Chain A
Amino acid sequence: MTPSDPRMSRPRRRLPAADMARIAVFAALIAVLGLPGQFHVFGNSVPITLQTLGVVLAGAILGAWRGALSVLMLLALVAAGLPLLAGGRGGLGVFAGPSVGYLVGWVVGALVVGWLVERGGRRPGVAWVLPACLIGSALILVIGVPIQSLVTGVPLGETIALSLAFVPGDTLKSVAAAAVVVGAQRAYPDASPAARRERLSNRGG
Chain B
Amino acid sequence: MLTGAYVARSSPLHRVPPGAKVSALAVACIGLLWVRTPQAVGVAVAAVAVLYGIGRIRPREAWSQIRPLRWFVLVILAVQLLITDWVTATSLTARIVLAVALAGLVTLTTRTTELMAAMERGLAPLRRVGVDPARVALMMSLAIRSIPVVASIAGQVRDAQRARGQERSIRAFAVPLVVGVLRYADTLGEALQARGMDD
- Residues on A facing B (Cβ under 8 Å): 6-7, 10, 12-29, 31-32, 35, 38-41, 50, 53, 57, 61, 73-74, 76-77, 79-84, 87, 89-98, 151-155, 158, 162, 176, 179-180, 183-184, 187-188, 190-191
Contact = CB atoms under 8 A, between A and B. Distances in A.
Contacts of A6: 127
B142 interface: yes
Q: Is the interface of B mostly helix, strand, loop or mixed?
A: helix
Given A50-B174, A79-B119, 6 more contacts: A20-B139, A29-B177, A73-B139, A80-B4, A97-B68, A179-B170
Contacts of B175: 180, 183-184, 187
B69 A32 contact: no
Nearest to A16: B198
A2 to B, nearest CB: 16
Contacts of B192: 17-18, 20-21
Contacts of B173: 39
A28 B147 contact: yes
A18 B190 contact: yes
Nearest to B168: A41
B138 interface: yes
B169 to A, nearest CB: 9
Given A17-B198, A18-B186, A190-B182, A183 B171 contact: yes
A86 to B, nearest CB: 10
B175 to A, nearest CB: 4
